[in-house]
Amino acid sequence: MLHARNDWKKTVSAALLAGLLLPASLAGAAASPETSAAPSIAGNAAGGPESSAVQPDALKPEAGQAAPAAAVKKKKVLVIGLDGTRPDALQAANAVNLEALAANGAYSWTTKANSNYTWSATGWSTIHTGVWYQKHGVKDNTWTGSKFGQYPSLMKRAELYNPALSTASIVHWGPINDKLVEGIDLEKTVATDAEVVSDTVNLLKTGNPDFLFLHFDDIDHAGHTYGFSPKVSQYTKAIEGVDAQIGTILDAVKARSTYAQEDWLILVSTDHGGKGTSHGGGSSEETTIFLIASGDSTVKGQLTGATYQADVMVTALKHLGVPVSSSWNLDGRAVGLIQ
Ligand SMILES: [Zn+2]
């Protein structure tokens, strides 16, 4: 486990170093010759390793230099929800695909979930609505008190703003689709994480999703059976199992015939941590979560500022070009994006 952690650090610093040492022009060319976003990545890297905060002024294209229309890639979002995944256990596990996503993006291992009521319904409600439990009203898995009329899922908001968006939610834990997500193009509830993978691979192959939410439940199940801890091998093995499944999904994204014309933002987070074999309280083990934002449109490296569970879907909307209205009264904001 110590080895995995060291390798992890090596991978990330190597990636950061590569970005820093490459001349801006070369870095831009290497990253992606056709996108206007590529020079922005180089521009940010040149700002220094601490600059996870975006510097919009440094990222503007030169005056009079209009980007060719062909350079605009189709923005797409894949949100991967890993139920009950503690960030310290994720780091202890040999999770090569999640490590690669973090190395090619912005990440935090100290993201804050709801300060209490760390249940699945509460956490997924915060991720999907972009507000804390005090606003969405869900304090346990009975879903009583939910205020999704006032604070609907942001996937629904995206669909309302742009009905042309293809939106889908494929989940292992059915209540996410039954109680929370609504007004989108496709809702699919399946019985296993393996089916989340096969359905998603099929959709990526035969369909054209723009905004996709996935929910995996096996890690949470391992936590309840064996313990939520980086020291519990059954728990870290479960993380590695889902990590391999994520690898299959990422391969399917890259295998899309239109992949070269697409700009995928991959977001990964969780509803809550865990303590012993349970969760639901306000301890740091239960409320400390993680957030990964990966892709060509993200800044690179560990996010130095605070990040929150409510930020996940707000970041997705920003990438998709869906404007957030102040009347929505959101608690989250976009994090980790270049602009
Ligand atoms: Zn649970």
Gap from CA of 84 to ligand 1 centroid (Å)? 6
Q: What is the pLDDT of residues 237-260, one digit of tens each?
A: 999 999 999 999 999 999 999 999
Gap from CA of 287 to ligand 1 centroid (Å)? 13
User: Mean pLDDT across the chain, nearest whole number?
Assistant: 86
Gap from CA of 206 to ligand 1 centroid (Å)? 33
Residue 65's pLDDT is what?
53
- Mean pLDDT, residues 35-59 taken together: 38
Gap from CA of 178 to ligand 1 centroid (Å)? 18
Residue 159's pLDDT is what?
98
Residue 339's pLDDT is what?
72
Enumerate the domain spans of the chain.
22-71, 74-328
Q: What is the pLDDT of residues 114-133, one digit of tens each?
A: 999 999 999 999 999 999 99
Residue 61's pLDDT is what?
44
Gap from CA of 283 to ligand 1 centroid (Å)? 15
- Mean pLDDT, residues 204-223 taken together: 98
Q: Chain-centre distance of CA 211, in angstroms? A: 12
Helix (H, G, I), strand (E, B) or coil at 26: helix
Gap from CA of 29 to ligand 1 centroid (Å)? 45
Residue 57's pLDDT is what?
44
Gap from CA of 170 to ligand 1 centroid (Å)? 18
The region of weakest confidence among 18-22, 181-185, 275-279 is 18-22
Given a cut of 70, is residue 8 above it in pLDDT? Answer: no
HSE-up of residue 285 (Cα within 13 Å, Cβ side): 14
Gap from CA of 120 to ligand 1 centroid (Å)? 6
Q: How far apart are CA 104 and CA 298, in angstroms?
A: 8
Burial class (CB in 10 A: 0-12, 13-18, 19+), 246: buried
Gap from CA of 269 to ligand 1 centroid (Å)? 15
Residue 3's pLDDT is what?
42
Q: What six digits make up the tokens of 217?
A: 């439940």
pLDDT-based confidence at 71, cuts 50/70/90?
Answer: confident
Element (H, E) at 229: none
Gap from CA of 216 to ligand 1 centroid (Å)? 11
Gap from CA of 219 to ligand 1 centroid (Å)? 9
Gap from CA of 279 to ligand 1 centroid (Å)? 7
Gap from CA of 247 to ligand 1 centroid (Å)? 24
- Mean pLDDT, residues 267-293 taken together: 98
Mind giving me the DSSP string for 27-86?
HHHHH-TT-SHHHHHHHHHHT-TT--S--GGGGSPPTT-PPPGGGPPEEEEEEEEETT--
Residue of 312, 292, 280 whose CA lies nearest to 127 = 312
- Mean pLDDT, residues 82-87 taken together: 98
Gap from CA of 328 to ligand 1 centroid (Å)? 29
Q: Angle of helix 233-254 relative to helix 96-103, nearest 10 degrees?
A: 60
Given a cut of 50, is residue 49 above it in pLDDT? Answer: no
Per-residue burial over 87-115, b = 16 or more CB atoms within 10 Å of its CB, e = otherwise: bbbbbbbbbbbbbbbbbbbbbbbebbbbe
- Mean pLDDT, residues 56-78 taken together: 64
Fold of the domain spanning 74-328 = Alkaline Phosphatase, subunit A (3.40.720)
pLDDT-based confidence at 280, cuts 50/70/90?
Answer: very high
Given a cut of 90, is residue 236 above it in pLDDT? Answer: yes
Gap from CA of 324 to ligand 1 centroid (Å)? 31
